[in-house]
Structure 1
Amino acid sequence: MRKIIAGLFILLSATLMSSCSKEDNYEGPNAAFKGRLLDNDSKENFLTETGGVQVKLEELSWSATPTPQFIPSKSDGTFEDTKLFSGHYRVTPANGAFWPVEGIEIDINGTTTQDFTLTPYLRITQFEHELQGTTLIMRCKLSAPKEAGLPRLLDIKPFVNISDYVGSGATISQYTDPNKVDINASWSGEIAAKTYEIRVPNLKSGRTFYARLGARVDDSYKQFNYSQIITITVP
């Protein structure tokens, strides 16, 4: 009896070892998807931050109602994912400071490139800055590419960092919220005509900072429309 049990144990062990040693025949991710997010007016890269826009992918190869996956934008307004499965996808830029756009259907195989054009809720215009001692002064106006249906404006904030990755997710907090300008109003001619001034005091001497302004509306995501990034060296 013991010999029979021992024999069965050896046979089972050999079977398990054989099954574990077999190679996995499933293919891994074999496709990449990348592109640019473009401002519909300037045709330049959309002014955003890391994760400021999410590119939503829905693979339609196997289901009409798939679970979406997301590619976060890079700080330069591009996006890229190099670990996707080849297939037929619906792709929609989402979750950012722009008017909703229709998704497109596209086959992703190998390396596929697709750009998307976005209309921002707001544009920061006539952006100027100066340094007075250790105080950074930034001025701007706001414009709205589409006024009808624009959500209520919330505020304008300064974002300051010691690297050029600067935005709501990368800022020195003591320079941001205490110096914001609240608006809390619907779009109007008065807002369009106003020049906003934001002061950031007490920058540390001998340091180089990167700064920009961001304005946002009261939509579901409350992401910011940004100015260009400036470099400030405090004497």
Structure 2
Amino acid sequence: MINNIKIGAVIILTSLLFYSCSKIDNYSPPNASISGALLDVSTNDTVPTTNNTNAFGFNYPDGVLNVYQQHYSATASSAQGTSYSQNGTYTNNSIFAGTYKAIPVGAFYADTAVLVVDGQTRHDFKVAPFVKVTMQITAVTNASITISYQVKGNDPLQSVTEAAAWLSPSAGVNRFSWYGSNFNPVDNSTYRDDHTGLSGDASFTRVFTKLQANTTYYLRAGGLAAGKNPQNYWNYSKVYQVQTRAN
């Protein structure tokens, strides 16, 4: 009798477990997507930024698009973060249809938007960058690449305090990635050009040396603004792909 009761209890518990699992498995997966770009409010050009590098413990070191689902429950939903791409675009293919408050965060001023997401939804954000960063490739040899770059404050409350340029064999290049050692006793940095303590707009020239012949490298420049920028987000130029000359 006792054994029959035990067997019956096991059967009931097993049934509940399978029922519970089937209920979990039957929930619909995310069925919508959002995508778009960060567009300069004054030029309508895409504003370059960084992707999610997970560097130094930061999930989104230079900004993130936070979306909050509305009317989902009695309490406000937590933010769902979407990383930007280096070219200033974003895509989230794992989101439920619904209404969201979207807050783009980064080295720019931007307005909050309310998005009705259904199927494939696109929304571009008009933003005002703290710093405008431009860069040019001026010379290429079999062992060097020469660049010039400019950083210019884009708002009276944002003054440029630091500027830098980086070279990397990887397309994912930003302030957390550069090629080789980050310190060289001769020129302070073989593959990074860094200028701190600035008090406004500036221009610089840099020759990256000791490169491999007939090799592809990626370069970009960036600038840091002091002002209402407590997270120390950086602005960037676009990424340049350059191949050194053959021997």
Q: Structure 2 length as normaliser, TM-score?
A: 0.79
The answer to whether structure 1 residue 221 and structure 2 residue 231 are counterparts is yes
Q: What is the total number of aligned residue pairs between the two structures?
A: 223
CA distance in 2, matches of 1:104, 1:120: 18
CA distance 1:76–1:181, shift in 2 (3 Å): closer
Where in structure 1 are there 5+ consecutive unaligned residues? none
Identical amino acids, percent of aligned pairs: 18
CA distance 1:126–1:6, shift in 2 (3 Å): closer
1:207 to 201, 215, 233: 215
The answer to whether structure 1 residue 73 and structure 2 residue 84 are counterparts is yes
Greater displacement, 132-141 / 108-117: 132-141
Name segments (4+ residues, structure 1) moved above 6 Å. Answer: none
The CA deviation string for residues 91-147 of structure 1, in whole angstroms up to 9 with x for no partner, is 0101x2212x2211222222221111111111124634223562322112332222x
CA distance in 1, matches of 2:196, 2:143: 26
| Aligned match of 2:57 | none
Do the aligned residues in 2 keep the contact of 1:140 with 1:195 (CA within 8 Å)? Answer: yes
CA distance in 1, matches of 2:214, 2:67: 45
Greater displacement, 131-140 / 109-118: 131-140
Alignment of 1:102-113 (within 5 A): 102-113=111-122
| Aligned match of 1:98 | 108
2:171 to 159, 164, 167: 164
CA distance in 2, matches of 1:76, 1:125: 14
The answer to whether structure 1 residue 84 and structure 2 residue 95 are counterparts is yes
RMSD: 2.5
1:12 to 3, 9, 13: 9
Greater displacement, 125-134 / 110-119: 125-134
Alignment of 1:138-217 (within 5 A): 138-146=147-155, 148-150=156-158, 152-174=159-181, 178=189, 179-187=192-200, 191=201, 194-217=202-225
CA distance in 2, matches of 1:86, 1:54: 20
CA distance 1:158–1:76, shift in 2 (3 Å): same
Shift of 1:228: 2.6
The CA deviation string for residues 173-230 of structure 1, in whole angstroms up to 9 with x for no partner, is 537872423242333xxx3xx5321232222234221111111224323232222322
Shift of 1:49: 2.1
CA distance in 1, matches of 2:233, 2:138: 23
Do the aligned residues in 1 keep the contact of 2:137 with 2:145 (CA within 8 Å)? Answer: no
Shift of 1:166: 2.0
Q: Secondary structure at the match of 2:148?
A: strand
Alignment of 1:46-65 (within 5 A): 46-51=47-52, 52-61=62-71, 62-63=73-74, 65=76
CA distance in 2, matches of 1:185, 1:76: 26
Where in structure 2 are there 5+ consecutive unaligned residues? 53-61
| Aligned match of 1:41 | 42
